[in-house]
Amino acid sequence: MWLGTFLQAVDLPIAPPLPGTEPETTMPTRPETSASPAQAITPELRRWIVEQAQAGQSASVVLQSMLAAGWAEDVATQALATSLHDHLDELAAQARPLAVVPVPAPRLDGSPNRIDCGDRSVEVLLTMAHPRVVVFGNLLSPEECEALIAAAAPRMARSLTVATQTGGEEVNDDRTSHGMFFQRGESPLVQRIEERIASLLNWPIENGEGLQVLHYRPGAEYKPHYDYFDPAEPGTPTVIQRGGQRVGTLVMYLNTPEQGGGTTFPDAQIEVAPQRGNAAFFSYERPTPSTRTLHGGAPVLAGDKWIATKWLREREFK
Ligand SMILES: O=C(O)CCC(=O)C(=O)O
Ligand SMILES: [Fe+2]
């Protein structure tokens, strides 16, 4: 009995006319020449893909049917990946609705290649929408990087992470760096950098946690994680009493490691190369994986890695 059902499922003519087409003969065909307009991923195509998934069709069957109908392979795989990913995000958001909150955001209207931050002009090197990632160049001068390292070095201790059960802090094997926190505004150097960051990210200086400096030796890493506090963890209500959720992160590279040590975003499959003075910014408007802000510090393969991280909260961090 089940075999019959199984065969039926496999044999089902799964390709209803692809969106934008009626009878099979008018299905879009693969563009033959480079002059042909590229095939677009239309809302109808996305809807059709989600319907196929809901009907239990495997991705490979859906892909085959799209190829057979004349969709170009790059368009078909891209359409499948984004449609299913977005659909899963929607399902997750429905299962655990969490409000979207305002987040730090650099002023990027008009696609500027530099942003004037008052005392310094910062380069915009890369922007990505989802996850929201912006890579900046020349945020800190070489002298500022050196001065931060020198001020932090005598105060370094094994890095702690927030203990999710209690909201306290603990040593964690996923994080093999050493670090320290500056108080907000604790020196003219720290104050100046914090003012620059507030201007760059358009976010109140008071909403920032104290700058954290991290030092990774060869082999050290920070395994992929989210920077927001997981609402499901018992320690979270305690942690967010001070300033609410984290909503953005700025990782500033204080040196250029000889090899390795990039900041990775596994969902986006990108890696930011650590270059002295540059910085990677990302924001997350709700504390969920749908933000695709999973990120980590890849193992340092040779040399040392020094970074300063600024975490940004929803409200004043006291
Ligand atoms: O080391 C890195 O590149 C990432 C650091 C990080 O994720 C953090 O400080 O929260
Ligand atoms: Fe992080």
Test site for ligand 1: of 307, 310, 313, most ligand atoms within 8 A of the Cβ: 307
Q: Hey, where are the domains in the chain?
A: 2-23+42-95, 114-313
Per-residue pLDDT reduced to its tens digit, 285-297 = 999 999 999 999 9
| 301 phi and psi angles, rounded to 5 deg | -95, -35
Q: Which atom of ligand 1 is nearest to the CA of 221?
A: 1
pTM for the model stands at: 0.78
What is the pLDDT confidence band of residue 94, given thresholds at 50, 70 and 90?
Answer: confident
> d(Cα 274, Cα 270) in Å, to the nearest integer?
13
What is the pLDDT confidence band of residue 98, given thresholds at 50, 70 and 90?
Answer: confident
Q: What Rg value do the Cα atoms of the chain yield, rounded?
A: 24
Count of C-beta atoms within a 10 Å radius of residue 63: 18
Ligand 1 centroid to 223 CA: how many Å?
A: 9
Q: Which atom of ligand 1 is nearest to the CA of 264?
A: 3
Does ligand 1 lie within 6 Å of residue 293's CB atom?
A: no
Question: Does residue 131 have a cis bond before it (omega within 30 degrees)?
Answer: yes
Query: Looking at the CA of 212, which ligand is closest?
Result: 1
Single out the residue of 93, 159, 96, 150 nearest to residue 309, CA to CA. 159
Mean of the pLDDT values across residues 159-174?
72
> d(Cα 209, Cα 171) in Å, to the nearest integer?
20
Ligand 1 centroid to 222 CA: how many Å?
A: 7
Residue reference for tokens 């899963």: 88
Can you name the residues that pair with 305 across neighbouring β-strands? 216
Q: Which atom of ligand 1 is nearest to the CA of 253?
A: 3
What is the pLDDT confidence band of residue 37, given thresholds at 50, 70 and 90?
Answer: low
Between 11 and 186, where is the model more confident? Answer: 186
Q: What is the mean pLDDT of the chain?
A: 86
What is the pLDDT confidence band of residue 151, given thresholds at 50, 70 and 90?
Answer: very high
User: Which residues are within 5 Å of ligand 2 (an ion), measured at CB?
Assistant: 227
Mean of the pLDDT values across residues 184-208?
98
Question: Does 39 have pLDDT greater than 60?
Answer: yes
Q: Are 84 and 53 in contact (CB under 8 A)?
A: yes
Per-residue pLDDT reduced to its tens digit, 210-268 = 999 999 999 999 999 999 999 999 999 999 999 999 999 999 999 999 999 999 999 99
Between 21 and 52, where is the model more confident? Answer: 52
Architecture of 114-313 per CATH?
A: Sandwich (2.60)
Count of C-beta atoms within a 10 Å radius of residue 15: 18
**Could you tell me what percent of the chain has a pLDDT over 90?**
64
**Amino acid 38: pLDDT:** 66
Kindly report the protein residue whose alpha carbon is nearest to atom 10 of ligand 1. Answer: 227
Q: Which atom of ligand 1 is nearest to the CA of 225?
A: 7
What is the pLDDT confidence band of residue 172, given thresholds at 50, 70 and 90?
Answer: confident
Least confident among 132-136, 156-160, 270-274: 156-160
Per-residue pLDDT reduced to its tens digit, 5-19 = 333 333 333 444 455
**Could you tell me what percent of the chain has a pLDDT over 70?**
86
Complex ipTM:
0.99
Does ligand 1 lie within 6 Å of residue 253's CB atom?
A: no
What is the pLDDT confidence band of residue 169, given thresholds at 50, 70 and 90?
Answer: confident
Kindly report the protein residue whose alpha carbon is nearest to atom 1 of ligand 1. Answer: 297
3-state secondary structure of 259: strand
Question: Does 89 have pLDDT greater than 80?
Answer: no
Test site for ligand 1: of 213, 222, 223, most ligand atoms within 8 A of the Cβ: 222
Please count the residues of the chain: 318
Residue reference for tokens 């650099």: 106
> d(Cα 281, Cα 106) in Å, to the nearest integer?
9
Angle between helix axes 73-95 and 43-54 (nearest 10 degrees) is 70
Question: Does 2 have pLDDT greater than 50?
Answer: no
CB contact set of 130 (below 8 Å; sequence gap of 6+):
268, 292
> d(Cα 75, Cα 41) in Å, to the nearest integer?
7
Q: Are strands 178-181 and 114-116 parallel, antiparallel or unpaired?
A: unpaired
What is the pLDDT confidence band of residue 101, given thresholds at 50, 70 and 90?
Answer: very high
Kindly report the protein residue whose alpha carbon is nearest to atom 2 of ligand 1. Answer: 297
Between 175 and 122, where is the model more confident? Answer: 122
